[in-house]
Structure formats: C-alpha cells, structure tokens
Structure 1
Amino acid sequence: MKSTKHPIVLRFAGMHPSDISGYEAHRYRKYGDLGHIDPSKPKPRLLIGTTNWAEEALAEIKLIKIETFAAELTELDRRKRRKDLKKRRIEGPRDPWRASRHGPLREVLLTANKDWFEETQSNDELFNTVREKQFEERAVAWLKEHFGDDVIHARADTDEQAYHIHAVIMPRATVHKYGVECHMLQPSIHPLIKNYEAAQDSVGEWFSEIGLVRGEARKRAIRDALNSGKAPPEKRRHVRPAEWRAKEELRLAKEAADLETRRREVAEREDIAEDVISYAEAVSAGDIDEDGKPIKPSTPTRAPITPDRRTGFGFVKARKAFQAVAKRLALRAAIKAKQAAETRIAAEISEIKKADATILEIARLLPKGLRGKIADVRRKLTASIMALDPAAKGRGRKPGQQQSGPE
C-alpha cells in the first residue's frame, strides 16, 4: 500500500476540576456521547497515572486550597489585620488559580487519520495494531518529556473510529505568597501550552520518526498574509467530534425523511395514474358508466373493477373529471339545440309577419263590417305569434296601447 503523508493531530482543551467526574464517566463509557462507541472493540487502556487519578487530583487541589488559605490567615494575623482576618475566615478558601474561561487544567488529544493506523507492512496481527503501538510509544514519551509529572492521566481509546490518546495535565506552580512558598495551578508555566504554534512544531518533529508530519500552520499563514497585505485564509473552527456527529446525524435524518417523502409522492402519483388508466379502460369497454357504476360483468380477459378499486383516489378523480366533461358537453349540446330552434322559429315568425302584412293590405280594401271581423281574428293570431317569438318575450304593450289593425 502506498503511504500517504498524514498530519499528527494535537488539540488542547480547557478543563475545570468540576469536569473531572464527567470525564471519568465517559472513560468508563457511562456518560456522554456514546453513539460512536464500538462495544466489540477493546475498552480504553490506561497509559499514565493510577486508576484513582481523579480522586487523587481533586484531593490534591483541595489540599492546595487549604494550605494557601492557612498561609493567608497566618499572614493577616501576623500583621494584626483583625477585620480582614475575620472577613476571610467567613469567605473561606479560594481557588488556587486565576479565573479564566478555560480553567486551570488542560485536556490533550493526540491522534492521526484512521487511514494511517490501517497502513501496515505486516499481516501477522489480526487487528493491525502495529501503527497504534508506534504512535502510543511516541505519545507517552512526548507527554512525559514536555509535561513531566504534571501529566496526571493518559489513556488510549481503541473502541472508536480512529485510535487516539487523551491526557490530562495539572500544571503545578510554586509562588512566593503570604511570606511562604504556596502552590497553585498555572497553565502558562508550560511553554507548549503558552505557545500553541510551538506545540504543533514540537509534535510534528517528534512524530516525524514514524511517518507523520506537522499539521497545516494556519496561524503562521494568517500572520504572513497580514504582514504582506494579502487576504488571510479563512479561519477554521475546530468542531468537537460529538458536535460533528450530532450535526451529521441530523443531516442524514433529514435526507432520509426527504427521500421517504419523495418516494411516497411518486408512489401516490403512480397509483393515481393507474386508477385513471383503469377507469378510462373500463369506460371505453362499457364495463362502467360515467359515475363508475357497473354496466355489465367484466370480460374474462380483464380483471374486474372491484369496489375497492372504484373508490381509489385516482379512480374518483378520473370519474369526477369525466362527469364534468360530460356535463359541459351536454350543456353545450343543449345550447346549440336551443340556438337552432330559435333561429328556425325566428324564420317562421318572419314569414308569418309577412303574411300578416299581406292580410292587412287586403282587409283595407274590404267593406267595414268584414274589416272588423278580420281585425278580431288577426289580434288573436298576433298574440299567439308573439308568444312564440323569443325577441318579443318580456316586451308587453304599454297600458292603453292598442294593436294596430284594419280600420
């Protein structure tokens, strides 16, 4: 397998003494983000410190607090500052470190890409742990070299995706205070904690002997870009594995939900299309009417349209569409028939009116007695004609208006 240059990964994270109990619970896989843990793999292995390191660390911190508090009270008493002495007795011991958002302890993470651990020149070992042993030896040596006894705990996590090492540093310092030497926790006493770039340079050189390289010098690249007047590279924010996994699980769940929604929509459209086709085939074959009611038994060559099938959404949709079209066609046919009838009636009424005009001309030539009889008959005939004329409907004669006739 061709070897690839992989970077050594080093991370420092602030840690408060109150975080130790949660840290230990996760070490024993009882608390925290456990979704990525593989129970079939070996449990975390202790590398530095005792199994009771957490209790020992907390007890030591408590002892430092009490010793410093006693030294302070002794100094106030020696200086006869009774008021301050009384006040400090009420307040009690203070934390033996300067308050900061990071806390006085440091958690260290050392690892590399999982592909690097899987590269091996030997097939003798079942789980290919050659690289893990090489990495572990270098990591323990680097921690002891640069932090000495302040490394109160280190462990190897082998039950996650990539092998990695966690360590806890308790930076002990001694200061002259209250007339005596007092202990306190001070992370800056370690140059590699104080200077993050120096720490990256250090591990890059230390692990180069086993084929790893220093990670990208982003801070240096940003500084060089600013000094040369160029735009600095975009600043990266380190995302803790638990946070990344939570976001990734949310993204995958959303994609799965969207995929399921699209699958259901496609299946629904397919069902509707199948119902429409079945309806159309059944209507064209004369098996059902436009309301979806059976007309005759289905032919043996086709499956019958069952009641359940007739109640399908697509079937109902097709039936409603067919009924709507049928109603529109029927209405259109009725309108055309009415228009044709009105046209025919109008033509016939026109011919009758012409005949009426002829009768009127003839009546004027007859004696007065005959003209009166013809006028009475003509009025009755005209009323019947106007009742048939659509154009005359709704147009009655005004009160007192008489129909013209032969005099």
Structure 2
Amino acid sequence: MSVHSKFDNPQPVNAPKPPIVLRFQGLHPDNLGRFDMHDHRNGGDLSHVDLDASGLNEVLHCEPRWQEAIKAEVAGAKRDNFRERMEALRKKGRKAERTALIAQGESDPWRRCSGGPLREGILTVNKEWFGGTGQAEWDAEKVAAFKKTAMDFLLKHFPDDQLRYANAHHDEEAFHIHFVTAVWTEKVTANRGRQKVLQASVNPLLKNYEHAQDLAGKAFAALGIARGERRAEARRVAKEAGEDIPKKRRHIPPSEWRADQQAAGYEVANEIVDAAHVEAKEMIEDGRTTGKATIRKSRKRAVKEARRRNAAATREIAAAERHRKKEERAAIAACKETADAETALVTIEEESAKSVEAAQVAKEKLQKVKAETGVEAGKLQAVKAETEKAQKQRYSVQAEVEGLSAKRDHVKDEVAAVKVELAEVEANVVTAEAKLSKAVSLIKRLVEGIDLLGGAVLRWISAPEASDGKFGWGPNAPKPKEERRRIVERMRPVMPKLDPLAQSISRTIDCILAEEREEIAADAAYVLEQRENMEADQRAELTRILDANTLTDPTSDGPAR
C-alpha cells in the first residue's frame, strides 16, 4: 500500500494566455504591386516560406482587380479635387490662386504620412497556440475558429468597403491573416469645395492603436487569447509617477530578424572554421614534431647499438684469429724443436680445432648481433609506420579543413550572388519607378492641357494645310507674359499629343459655328430681300449682321512649341 501526501488547500494552475498580435503599417498605392507579388509568393524573400504549402493559402475577402480599383479611385479623386478647387476659387474671384493651381497641377488626395495613406495589417497569435510549427502540426479546428473570429472582427470594424483585401497564409510557421484597408472621407470648405481624401485616422482603430488592441483582446477572448501587454499605459503611469519610463519596444520585421540570424550563422560558421584551422594546424605541428623527434631518437639509438655490437663482434673475431695464428706458430716451432712430428701434428690439429670452435662461437655472436639489429630495424619500421599514420591523419585533417573552407567559400559565393541579384532587382525597381514617374508626369501635363483647352486658355488655329495649324491663346488665357511662358514650358513635352485632340475640338466647334452662321446668314439674306420696304439704317444693320456671320479664318499668335 502506497502513502501519498495530502493537499489541504489545492489551487488550480493557470497557464498564461497567449496575446493576440494586431499590427498596422502604412502602404503607398504605388507599392500595391510589390505587396501582391510577395502575397502570392511570386518574389521577395521566400526563405521562411514552405512553398509546398503555399497552395493552401486562401483569399478571404476582396473584389476583382482590387488594386486597380484603388489606383483608379486615387486618380479620380485627384481629378475631381482639382476641378472642385478650381471652381471654388473661381466663385471667390481668386484668379492668381487659380493660375498658381493650374501651374501646380493635381495633387495626391492625402496628407503626408509615414509609409503611405493605406494601411497594411496582420492578425495572428503565437504558433504554439495553433499546435506547433508549420501546417502539419496545427489543430485544424483552432485554425478555423481563429479565421472566423478574425474575419468577423475585420468586417465589423472596417465597414463600408474599408476592408479591401484579406488573405490567410498557411505556408509559414504560424497561421496569420494579411489585410489591406483604404479609408476614404469627404471634406467641404469654401476655398477648396468638396474634397475626397484618404485619411486612415477617420477609423477609430487606426486613430488609436491602444483602442484597437482593447477591441482585439475582447474579440478573441472566447478563444483563450488575451490582449497584448499595455506598454503605452505603463509608460504613462511611470511618467506621471516620476519613475523611469520603460523604453518603447521596436517591432522587428521577420525579414530583418531572419537577416540577423543568417548573419549570426555566418559568424558562427566562420568562427568554427577558424577554430578548426587553428586546431588542425596545432595537431599537424604536434604530430610532425613528435614524429620527427621519435624517428630521430629511434634512428640514433638503433644505429648506435648496431655499431657497438658490430664493433664488439669484429673485435672478438680478430682476437680469435690472432690467437689461432699464434697457436699455429707455436705448434710449428714446437714441432721443429721436437723430434716427434706426429705429436706436433696432433697438437696443431687440436689447436686448429679450438680455433675453429672459437671462430664458430664468434660467428654465432655475429648472427645474434645481426638478429638484434633486425629487431631494431623492425622497431624502426614500426616507428616509420606510425609516422606515416600520423602523416595520413594530418592529410585527413587538412582535407576536412579544406572541405570546411570550401563550404564557407560556397556560402560566401551564395551570399554574394544573392546580393548581386538583389542589387539587380532594386535597379530594375528604380528604373521602373523612374519610368512610371515620367509617365505620370506626362499624363498630368496631358490632363492639364485638356483642361486648358476646355477652359479656353488655349485653342487651335486651323490653316489651309493641316501641317500649318498651330496653338493659339484663347479668351481665358492669362495676360502676363511670364504666366504664359510658364504654361508653354509645362505644355511643350505634350504638345504633339495634344495636336490631334485640339484639331478635333477645333473642327467640332467650326462645324457647329458654321451651321449656326449659315442659318443666320440665310435669315439675314431673306430679310435683305425685303429691304426695299426698310429704312437705310435698317438695311445697313442687316448688312453688318450678314458680314459678321460670314465664315472667316481667325488667326492669333499662339504659344511657341
């Protein structure tokens, strides 16, 4: 039987709720194409994207060609705002301001703002709430619940077509929703008339981000997701209390975070490679030094021992040979001295046998020395084998170091290639933006030229030859030469484009006037037929009307091209 501790006052453990993430940043209409390219994974930084899961991304809200619609709305607002302001200045009789406005041209329908007048936003929560990293580990029910709550929240707080686009991304670490808002409003003043402008602060969420975080926290509370930290409120409280004010936390974009991580990885890789180089060099130097010292010592010791033993054996053989010769000489002398030759011969044979035995012993010692020399030679070969093994290990370490160096060089080459590609993309973007800016400028001038033709500031003077036609000043043209010169400078780039339109307007007006003048001339001719019954002054007046309505070719000095 087991005994367990007893808890008299158990308390539940509440894990902290993950905070909702709601962020906004400015977006310029000219950057909608770049936004769409990244949103559809057609370009930009895709290193953090699982492209195999990109097919699961889904558009949750948008109208067809929503980007073109926003750009068309901006262009229409610029045109209408310009006309409204011109009309307001005309009603107030401010000719100088109208002239200045004509010179200035149309302007963007928004005030200067960081990033742009549109708002790009993101809604998400920590990936652990969904179940882990990546689509494969997410809880499908949680994803669906988050998606529904998010769209209910966005549609409620961005009404009247303020929400222009929303897309759910399934191909990154955490599920999230990208969205774009455009908040239009109208302002009416005596000096400007009715102006339609993009102003994000009209929406309460975009005007006060703390309020937006409060509303988001309430909307997602049912899912167990809390509001984020109240940092702005904490700073205000600290300021009122005279305490140290916490620093504002800067949001680090994922692309910047990944770049920092990549740079840190490169630094670690370089450090590892450098450390491997140093360690390999130390190992190679140690192995080389140890091998050389071992070989040198073993070689000296073996040679010295072999020389010593060879010298000893040589000395013993020489001594035995000297002793044998000495005994032979003594035996011969004894035989000469002794009459018994047989006894002398026996003595010589015995001494010779001893000499042979001594020589055999010396020979055996020499063989033994040779055997010992062979053992030392074997040891020397073993030392050489160990040295070769150390050399092979050194080559292996060098190969590993060279492999690491090659990997580092490959990584550097890839980074350099990415930088070159990025530079080319940025250069292409700059070129495209320059071309777009030039085209927009020409379109502005062309629209201004059409307005000048429509406002009778400029007119077309026809000629018998179509190529001899030219622009002339209309009745509403400014009188000062300096103002006329400025208009000519602005219109010069688009004069060739305005020619066909001006000729068409001139022909249309001439046709209408010709018909009206023919009718008046016919009426006057009819009346003149009755002049016999009229007084002289009446006939003269009718003649004047007839002459005044006869077709003529008016000419006027126009602006030089």
Q: 1:160 aligns with which of 172, 177, 185?
A: 172
Give the letter for the 1:77 counterpart: R
Give the letter for the 1:137 counterpart: K
Q: Which residues in structure 2 correspond to 1:105-144 (within 5 Å)?
A: 105-118=118-131, 128-144=139-155
Residue 237 of structure 1 and its aligned partner are, at CA, apart by 0.9
Q: Which residues in structure 2 correspond to 1:255-334 (within 5 Å)?
A: 255-286=268-299, 299-304=380-385
Give the letter for the 1:29 counterpart: R
CA pair 127-271 structure 1, distance change in 2 beyond 3 A: same
1:146 is matched with 157
Instruction: Work out the CA distance in 2 between the residues paired with 1:126 and 1:267.
Output: 43
Instruction: Work out the CA distance in 2 between the residues paired with 1:215 and 1:140.
Output: 19
Q: 2:88 aligns with which of 65, 70, 75?
A: 75
Residue 64 of structure 1 and its aligned partner are, at CA, apart by 1.0
1:207 is matched with 220
**Equivalent position SS for 2:382:** coil
1:322-358 Cα offsets, whole Å, 9 max, x none, are: xxxxxxxxxxxxxxxxxxxxxxxxxxxxxxxxxxxxx
**Equivalent position SS for 1:134:** helix
Q: 2:261 aligns with which of 248, 268, 283?
A: 248
Contact 2:294-2:383 within 8 A present in 1 as well: no
Instruction: Work out the CA distance in 1 between the residues paired with 2:152 and 2:21.
Output: 16
1:376 is matched with none
Instruction: Work out the CA distance in 2 between the residues paired with 1:98 and 1:288.
Output: 94
Contact 2:26-2:116 within 8 A present in 1 as well: yes
Contact 1:10-1:111 within 8 A present in 2 as well: yes
Give the letter for the 2:152 counterpart: A
Residue 205 of structure 1 and its aligned partner are, at CA, apart by 0.7
Instruction: Work out the CA distance in 1 between the residues paired with 2:276 and 2:298.
Output: 33
1:190-236 Cα offsets, whole Å, 9 max, x none, are: 11111111111110111001110001101111111121222222321
Instruction: Work out the CA distance in 1 between the residues paired with 2:63 and 2:377.
Output: 87
Instruction: Work out the CA distance in 1 between the residues paired with 2:157 and 2:252.
Output: 26
CA pair 90-297 structure 1, distance change in 2 beyond 3 A: farther
**Equivalent position SS for 2:173:** coil
Q: Which residues in structure 2 correspond to 1:15-26 (within 5 Å)?
A: 15-26=27-38
Residue 118 of structure 1 and its aligned partner are, at CA, apart by 1.1
1:171 is matched with 183
Q: 2:48 aligns with which of 8, 33, 36?
A: 36
Instruction: Work out the CA distance in 2 between the residues paired with 1:50 and 1:147.
Output: 15
How many residues align? The count is: 299
Structure 1, 198-207 or 79-88: larger mean CA deviation: 79-88
1:88 is matched with 101
**Equivalent position SS for 1:67:** helix
1:18-59 Cα offsets, whole Å, 9 max, x none, are: 221211111121232211111111343211112411111111
CA pair 287-157 structure 1, distance change in 2 beyond 3 A: farther
Give the letter for the 1:184 counterpart: V
Q: Percent identity?
A: 31
Instruction: Work out the CA distance in 1 between the residues paired with 2:248 and 2:196.
Output: 38
Instruction: Work out the CA distance in 2 between the residues paired with 1:4 and 1:287.
Output: 77
Q: Say whether 1:59 aligns with 2:72.
A: yes
Residue 87 of structure 1 and its aligned partner are, at CA, apart by 2.5
Q: Which residues of structure 1 form unaligned runs of 5+?
A: 120-124, 290-295, 314-407
Q: Say whether 1:222 aligns with 2:235.
A: yes
CA pair 69-235 structure 1, distance change in 2 beyond 3 A: same
Q: 1:192 aligns with which of 197, 205, 216?
A: 205
Give the letter for the 2:163 counterpart: V
Contact 1:282-1:288 within 8 A present in 2 as well: no
Give the letter for the 2:131 counterpart: E
**Equivalent position SS for 2:384:** coil
Higher relative contact order (CA closer than 8 Å, sequence separation 6+): 1
1:263-303 Cα offsets, whole Å, 9 max, x none, are: 221122111111111111101101799xxxxxx97734333
Give the letter for the 1:302 counterpart: V
Instruction: Work out the CA distance in 2 between the residues paired with 1:32 and 1:288.
Output: 71
Q: Which residues of structure 2 form unaligned runs of 5+?
A: 1-13, 303-375, 396-561
Instruction: Work out the CA distance in 2 between the residues paired with 1:126 and 1:214.
Output: 25
Q: CA RMSD in A?
A: 2.6
| TM-score normalised over the length of structure 1 | 0.68
Which of 1 and 2 has greater Rg? 2
Q: 1:231 aligns with which of 224, 240, 244?
A: 244
| TM-score normalised over the length of structure 2 | 0.50
CA pair 8-309 structure 1, distance change in 2 beyond 3 A: closer
Instruction: Work out the CA distance in 2 between the residues paired with 1:160 and 1:55.
Output: 28
**Equivalent position SS for 1:257:** helix
**Equivalent position SS for 1:286:** helix
Instruction: Work out the CA distance in 2 between the residues paired with 1:34 and 1:3.
Output: 34
Instruction: Work out the CA distance in 2 between the residues paired with 1:279 and 1:98.
Output: 81
